[in-house]
């Protein structure tokens, strides 16, 4: 798929700068928003229509928020190859709707370390669902766009305004940047754990 129209998106971010404007742009261009926790609350507070992830999964957030998006109704919609008829048939069989854009940025683990949290508290700041969604959507850039940082919001909007969707070249660029970001995130956690006793 070369040009990807953006009709359904997950927004789940720690850094909420520029998010309200980005969300409004997506809604104004016919996109359904799906979100979690604080991001959903913020978007709804701005008057934007937004569906809770738990409404998509038919399952509440559990374990103090450790498990929110790790569900086939989310990851099936992220990982389906839209050019593969068998994938799309599977989505139909299980009533899963595909996503077109995943906007995720991660818990600020560096900030947790800088605050001098003890090991147990610091470990709680290790994001699991976020990197999983980032890596899944980056892998599937042929069918979806991953947006890992607010600094890319304007470029996404420009692409949609000018082309009516997101080009394959642009999606690949963001996928590459996303894998770089997640590898750096893991390296930071690796360094922290190797330097701090149990």
Does residue 3 fall inside a structural domain?
no
The residues with which 50 forms a beta bridge, in sequence order, are 33
- How distant, in Å, are the alpha carbons of 28, 40, 93, 130 from that of 14? 23, 12, 34, 10
Per-residue pLDDT of the chain in tens (198 residues, 90 and over written 9): 789 999 999 999 988 999 999 999 999 999 999 998 889 999 999 999 999 988 998 877 777 767 777 789 999 999 999 999 999 999 999 999 999 999 998 877 777 777 777 788 888 888 888 899 999 999 999 999 999 999 999 999 999 999 999 999 999 999 999 999 999 989 988 888 888 766
Which residue range is the domain that position 75 belongs to? 8-195
Q: How many domains, the chain?
A: 1
Residue 85 in any domain: the answer is yes
pTM of the model: 0.90
The verdict on residue 2 lying in a domain is no
CATH number at residue 68: 3.40.50.1380
How far apart CA 8 and CA 27 sit, in angstroms, is: 9
- Does 14 reside within a domain? yes
pLDDT in the model for residue 65: 67
pLDDT at 146: 97
| Cα–Cα distance, 52 to 119 (Å, whole number) | 31
Under 8 Å CB-to-CB from 99, ≥6 apart: which residues?
Answer: 8, 9, 10, 34, 77, 78, 137, 144
- Is there a domain that residue 1 lies in? no
Contact by Cβ (8 Å): 134, 122? no
pLDDT of res. 27: 97
Question: What's the pLDDT at 197?
Answer: 65
DSSP string of 134-154? HHHHHHTTTT-EEE-SGGGHH
- pLDDT number for residue 169: 96
Q: Is residue 34 part of a domain?
A: yes
3-state secondary structure of 49: coil
84 domain-assigned? yes
Alpha-carbon gap, residue 198 to 193, rounded angstroms: 9
């Amino acid at each position: 798929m070369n040009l990807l129209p953006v009709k359904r998106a997950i927004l789940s971010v720690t850094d909420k700068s520029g998010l309200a404007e980005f969300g409004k742009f997506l809604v104004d261009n016919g996109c359904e928003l799906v979100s979690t926790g604080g991001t959903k609350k913020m978007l709804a507070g701005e008057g934007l229509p937004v569906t809770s992830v738990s409404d998509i999964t038919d399952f509440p957030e559990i374990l103090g928020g450790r498990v929110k998006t790790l569900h086939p109704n989310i990851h099936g919609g992220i990982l389906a190859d839209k050019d593969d008829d068998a994938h799309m048939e599977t989505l139909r069989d299980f009533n899963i709707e595909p996503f077109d854009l995943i906007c995720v940025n991660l818990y600020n683990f560096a900030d947790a370390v800088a605050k001098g949290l003890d090991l147990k508290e610091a470990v709680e700041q290790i994001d699991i669902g976020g990197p999983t969604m980032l890596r899944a959507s980056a892998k599937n850039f042929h069918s979806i766009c991953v947006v890992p940082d607010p600094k890319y919001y304007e470029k996404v909007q420009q692409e949609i305004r000018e082309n009516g969707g997101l080009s394959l070249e642009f999606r690949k660029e963001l996928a590459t940047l996303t894998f770089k970001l997640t590898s750096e995130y893991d390296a930071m956690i690796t360094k922290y754990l190797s330097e701090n006793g149990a």
